[in-house]
């Protein structure tokens, strides 16, 4: 993917501004975010096809970490390389970080009773249900248009609901993959259409994997050597992000 420096800088800025707009206007959890991404980046701007978007979503659901953040970063990576990845991450996360800091300061002043039985908070929860439901319905129309893929969705949902455990999530993903091999070939048609071109070399990928496993093993040691404070917090958050799957 031969992007020149000037084009890449301009593309990375474009990615940052688009994701900043999404960060300011996207409500709900990861599933809702995936719906917003599809409407803004696939349907409206046509940065990638439905098939390519489906591939990214499937991969990020299978990898450890928050899926919607990973999907956004992957789209930024495909669009503008590593600068686009960091632009997507910063643009989408920055509004939430600023708002959360502001709320923390305000609630620290008002006291915890401000959240106890708060009607406005209950209203936000109800609104979030509608947002997530709309995202799920819109994605189902494009990613599960036939009975084969609908069957995979139903089977994975049943496993995840019956076995409410992290292993249940992993099992649902494995069962979905097995069904994709067993069911007729038309159920796999979109898997090979519109392949993705990732502008990264093998060296960068290997370094990233080494950093991931090095931090996963090294941070607990640092937390044990320097208990409490920032080191323990970083270790806990990093391990949580490394061991959670999906949204």
- Considering the entire predicted model, what is its pTM? 0.74
Cα–Cα distance between 243 and 247 in angstroms, integer? 12
146, two tokens = 């036939």
Evaluate whether residue 178 is within a structural domain: no
Evaluate whether residue 64 is within a structural domain: yes
Number of H-type helices and E-type strands within the chain: 9, 0
34: containing domain: 5-143
How many of the other CB atoms lie within 10 Å of CB of 163? 14
C-alpha to C-alpha distances, 225 to 26, 43, 89, 234, 238, nearest whole angstrom: 40, 50, 31, 14, 17
Evaluate whether residue 150 is within a structural domain: no
* pLDDT score recorded for residue 207: 94
Evaluate whether residue 238 is within a structural domain: no
**Which pLDDT tens digit goes with each residue over 42-69?**
889 989 888 888 889 888 887 888 888 8
Cα–Cα distance between 230 and 161 in angstroms, integer? 36
Evaluate whether residue 51 is within a structural domain: yes
Identify whether the C-beta of residue 41 lies closer than 8 Å to the C-beta of residue 48: yes
Evaluate whether residue 120 is within a structural domain: yes
Evaluate whether residue 149 is within a structural domain: no
* pLDDT score recorded for residue 213: 92
**Which pLDDT tens digit goes with each residue over 227-244?**
877 888 899 899 888 877
CA neighbor of 246 nearest in space, from 41, 52, 88, 33: 33
Spell 40-57 as b/e; 16+ CB within 10 A means b.
bbbeeeebbebbbbbbbb
* pLDDT score recorded for residue 129: 76
**Which pLDDT tens digit goes with each residue over 149-174?**
888 888 888 888 888 777 777 788 78
Evaluate whether residue 188 is within a structural domain: no
Total domains in the chain come to 1
CA neighbor of 38 nearest in space, from 185, 137, 148, 118: 137
115, two tokens = 């959240």
pLDDT above 70 covers a percentage of the chain that reads 85
């Amino acid at each position: 993917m031969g992007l020149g420096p000037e084009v890449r800088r301009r593309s990375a800025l474009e990615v940052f501004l688009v994701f900043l707009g999404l960060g300011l206007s996207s409500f709900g959890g990861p599933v809702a975010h995936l719906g917003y991404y599809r409407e803004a980046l696939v349907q409206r701007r046509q940065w990638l096809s439905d098939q390519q978007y489906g591939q990214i979503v499937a991969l990020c659901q299978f990898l450890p970490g928050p899926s919607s953040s990973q999907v956004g970063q992957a789209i930024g990576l495909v669009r503008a390389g590593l600068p686009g990845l960091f632009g997507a991450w910063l643009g989408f996360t920055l509004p939430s970080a600023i708002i959360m800091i502001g709320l923390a300061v305000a609630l620290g002043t008002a006291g915890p009773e401000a959240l106890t039985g708060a009607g406005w908070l209950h209203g936000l929860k109800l609104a979030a249900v509608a947002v997530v439901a709309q995202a799920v319905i819109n994605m189902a129309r494009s990613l599960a248009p036939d009975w084969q893929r609908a069957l995979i969705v139903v089977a994975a949902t049943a496993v995840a609901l019956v076995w409410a455990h992290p292993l249940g999530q992993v099992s649902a993903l494995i069962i979905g993959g097995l069904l994709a091999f067993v069911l007729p070939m038309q159920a796999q048609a979109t898997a090979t259409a519109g392949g993705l071109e990732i502008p990264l070399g093998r060296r960068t990928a290997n370094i990233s994997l080494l950093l991931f496993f090095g931090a996963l093993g090294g941070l607990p040691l640092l937390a044990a050597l320097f208990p409490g404070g920032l080191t323990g917090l970083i270790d806990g958050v990093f391990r949580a992000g490394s061991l959670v799957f999906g949204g």
